[in-house]
Amino acid sequence: MIEQFIREVLAEDVGRGDLYARVSEAVPASAKIIAKSDGVIAGELYLSTLADIEKFTIVWHKRDGDRFVKGDILMELSGDSHTLLRIERTLLNMLLHASSIATLTRKYVDLIAPYGTKLLDTRKTRPLLRNFEKYATRIGGATNHRMGLDDALMLKDTHLKTIVNLESFMEEARKKIPFTSKI
């Protein structure tokens, strides 16, 4: 699933091919990813898959869930110039998006920690990014709640407006949904 996601993300950015690679020679290249602010890193699983697919190397200085401060080297990349320049925006976008979610999540997890409370995430994710964004909330310390409509029956006010008799509805629901599903 992650590999397919990475391939789709790359295809979206690369399109019919990297024009720079058509007019230049590949040379050995390296890069450092340096934090521009404090935060919590997330994206290791996805970026490692990107490196496997695109055949470049990542040396991690911070791992998923680690805190970092402005100026920290998060990772170093090495490979050929065509590859690193082709994946640069994809890598940075995924790292920034996941780490931003993990950083904000950790802020709230730390805030509620003294109360013995768990932070749950939501299904309110961007289209096609649910697994990626829920992964980032886990890295930040939250607990995934529902992945989709199929893993728990949750009745909200909008549902309740369509139910004439809640007691009868619940009897039928218990007969029709899988035994292992929560209501």
Residue 154 structural domain: 150-183
pLDDT, tens digit (0-9, with 9 covering 90-100), for 86-127: 999 999 999 999 999 999 999 999 999 999 999 999 888 888
Domain assignment present for 51? yes
* Joined tokens for residue 123: 């299904």
CA-to-CA separations, 71 to 13, 29, 136, in angstroms, rounded? 28, 21, 22
Round to whole Å and give the CA distance between 93 and 140. 18
pLDDT given for residue 124 in this prediction: 87
CA-nearest of 19, 101, 13, 7 to 49 is: 7
Residues in the chain, overall count = 183
Looking at the structure, do residues 102 and 183 belong to the same domain, yes or no? no
pLDDT given for residue 9 in this prediction: 95
Looking at the structure, do residues 66 and 108 belong to the same domain, yes or no? yes
pLDDT, tens digit (0-9, with 9 covering 90-100), for 31-63: 999 999 999 999 999 999 999 999 999 999 999
Instruction: Residue 93: give its domain's CATH number.
Output: 3.90.1170.20
Round to whole Å and give the CA distance between 49 and 4. 10
The reported pTM is 0.89
Domain assignment present for 145? no
What secondary structure letter does DSSP report for 16? T
Looking at the structure, do residues 52 and 80 belong to the same domain, yes or no? yes
Number of domains, the chain: 2
